[in-house]
Chain A
Amino acid sequence: MAETSNIDGHGHDGENRRDFLYLATGAAGAVAVGGIIWPLVSQLAPNAREEAAGAPVQLNVSAVEPGMVITVVWRGGPYFVRHLTDEELELAADAPEDIFRDFAPLAARTGGPGVQPVDETATADENGAGATGGKIGRWAVMSANCTHLGCVPTEVDTGLDGWVCPCHGSKFDITGRVTKGPAPTNLPLPPFNFASEDILVIGADA
């Protein structure tokens, strides 16, 4: 009985050899299609050389006086390095929280040597205050691509205002915290640390 039904393709419980063959062919076909699509999609990713360009960069910032901003390139993109003055630090520390769309305490936005009196209450934001350990530093290092659609904001330098984006009008304070416009979040902080008083390393935490 079982033999005959196997021969003409009718097994028990509605299963038969043909069902198995369909399944096996379908499965093999799916694997093959997946195997073709995978490399086709994968080749779109940043290649090994692009990735290597993501290695940390070092620069000497001894010539950057308080109040000055320089733009440096890491991973093909621009980063602002701002040496804050005492007045700027005070303004940023005193600014009311509700003017910011994506508030982060000053200690989470700054780092580096020349550290101000410690603000023990401030906690490091996972955004990358690795360099500060929750202390307010003199240096604000941030991505120079607006978090809206990536334009480079222009410096404005009046009091608390640090940058305005020429593309759609987003505004950022001197530490890169967004105050106005369509940008949803603060300018992101790259991992950075100071190898010494003068040597800033962008791309690696301490």
Chain B
Amino acid sequence: MSGHSTYQPTSGFGKWMDARLPMARLMHDSFVSYPVPRNLNAFYTFGGILMLMLVSQIITGVVIAMHYTSDASTAFESVQLLRRDVSYGGLMQNWHAVGASFFFIAVYLHIARGMYYGSYKAPREVLWILGVIIYLLMMATAFMGYVLPWGQMSYWGAQVITNFFSAIPLVGDTVREYLLGGYSVGNATLNRFFSLHYLLPFMIAGIAILHVWALHVTGQTNPTGVEVKSKQDVIPFTPYATIKDAMALVIFFAVMAYFVFFLPDYLGHADNYIEANPLVTPAHIVPEWYFLPFYAVLRAIDFNIVIPFTDIVLIDSKLGGVLAMFGAIAILFFLPWLDTSDVRSGNYRPLFRIAFAIFVINAIFLGYLGSRPAEGIWVPLMKASTLVYFAYFIPILPLLGWIEKPLPRPASIMDAVMEKSQDEGAAHIEGSAAEPNTKG
């Protein structure tokens, strides 16, 4: 994809450096002359936004870590002190906490883009899997970060989530003790979580580099799903994509800044302003919003799975819930092979579009259910919604590839662009032959 390097060092130092460590050449080839499809829309800006969010979390994180103590007796106090008594400490803390939420908003939109435009399909499976790994690391990082301020939600979130591991048959309790460094969540737990919370973002940065490398090997998808075929289909990254990404970034950060300045606690929980108390669980514990759909899946399984017609319990309710929850994430790894259609973009798949719309609405509903107590009508709704979630992956996606009759696709990206401007009456270009329509 990258083709020949067009980098021309001009200064003497540039030439000297280029013969020794051609870093400027790498940057030029990756972010200046790098060709991108000419028809990318706004949903393709979230990758750049995510890169900047990671940088933003690392900068604010390193700064607030200078004021933070990871001792269970002083951690809560140190964060309150940071917020009130450190110059701009409140801003930095809010930026970091709100930033985590916006990081997830961006990643969910980025993932949804990939699912709709079939970005996970060949030859981009490895690119997709690296993305899912980043998502997993982000969840681990955010979970451990949320424990650090040592409020009630921090403590009980840690208690509930580390208990997932005690569901493992036979060795579960030992695994949990090794995870916590004690018999319950305590000082040892807080210390190791701080150490890992500091480490993981740098691992994310490492995987993100591999992610971009894989992207630059295969090139980007685009809303038509038709691969780049000629020079006509692409435009150089700079200035075209750079300026579009910058525009999206400004809007994204403006919205985020509004939350940082005016609604810093909107996405959090009031209970986290009460110091951790191992003796009292808050009346209504809920994880951060970005974990809610999975929390609903966890709670949907409140029954034992038994061997039919006997009382022998195969998987008890606790293990079942944990398996379903991890399964809901793990299934993303298999998406490239579950979707059997060879039409990439959802734009040309009428049935898929309906299934995808239902999937998105259901995922949001699942998140809403995650915030509801596990009682009354909510429990059957959680079960139904969990079923719909999994049904999208199995059997709907594999089946759609066989039964769906896709719409005709344009012959090339350029054709699609021209056809669109033709429809809008801006230009009139003849001869856009449709790509032959093979089995979908």
Contacts and interface: CB of A to CB of B under 8 A. Distances in A.
24 contacts: A44-B179, A44-B181, A45-B178, A45-B181, A50-B182, A50-B183, A50-B186, A76-B278, A77-B184, A144-B279, A148-B163, A149-B159, A149-B161, A149-B318, A150-B160, A150-B166, A151-B156, A151-B159, A151-B281, A168-B298, A168-B374, A182-B321, A182-B374, A184-B304
Interface string B292-336: 000000110110100000000000111101000000000000000
Interface in A23-81: 41, 44-47, 50, 54, 71, 73, 75-78
Q: Top 7 nearest A-B pairs by Cβ distance?
A: A149-B163, A184-B316, A151-B281, A76-B184, A77-B184, A150-B163, A149-B160
A183 B299 CA distance: 11
Contacts of B188: 46-47, 50
A75 B183 CA distance: 6
A9 interface: no
B318 A147 contact: yes
A184 B177 CA distance: 20
A159 interface: no
Contacts of B179: 44
B318 A154 contact: no
A91 B242 CA distance: 73
Given A71-B279, A75-B183, A166-B285, A45 B177 contact: yes
Contacts of A150: 159-160, 162-163, 166
Interface string B147-180: 0000000001001111110100000000001111
Nearest to A78: B279
Given A45-B178, A168-B299, A169-B374, A183 B281 contact: no
A151 B282 CA distance: 9
Nearest to B295: A168
B428 to A, nearest CB: 63
Contacts of B304: 101, 184
B186 A76 contact: yes
Contacts of A184: 304, 316-319
Interface of B: 156, 159-164, 166, 177-184, 186, 188, 192, 278-285, 298-299, 301-302, 304, 316-319, 321, 373-375, 379
Instruction: Count chain A CB atoms within 10 A of each CB in B161, B301, B317 and give the residue with the most.
Output: B317
Interface residues of A, number: 33
B280 to A, nearest CB: 6
B278 A182 contact: no
A76 B182 contact: yes
Interface in A72-125: 73, 75-78, 101
B302 A181 contact: yes
B183 A183 contact: no
Contacts of B181: 44-47, 50
Contacts of B160: 149-151, 167
Contacts of A41: 178
Interface of A: 41, 44-47, 50, 54, 71, 73, 75-78, 101, 144-145, 147-154, 165-169, 181-184
A78 B179 CA distance: 19
Contacts of B283: 154, 166
A166 B373 CA distance: 8
Nearest to A168: B374
Contact of B279 (A44, A46, A54, A73): A73
A116 to B, nearest CB: 30
B321 to A, nearest CB: 6
Contacts of B161: 149
Nearest to B177: A46
Contacts of A73: 278-279
Given A151-B285, A167-B160, 13 more contacts: A46-B181, A73-B279, A76-B184, A76-B186, A77-B278, A152-B281, A154-B281, A166-B285, A167-B281, A167-B285, A169-B379, A184-B304, A184-B317
Given A148-B318, A166-B281, A46 B183 contact: yes
A182 B301 contact: yes
Contacts of B316: 184
Given A54-B183, A168-B302, A183 B279 contact: no
Nearest to B158: A150
Instruction: Count chain A CB atoms within 10 A of each CB in B156, B160, B182, B316 and give the residue with the most.
Output: B182
A181 B318 contact: no
Given A151-B285, A168-B299, A182 B318 contact: yes
Contacts of A168: 298-299, 302, 374
Instruction: Count chain A CB atoms within 10 A of each CB in B164, B278, B301 and give the residue with the most.
Output: B278
A183 B318 contact: yes
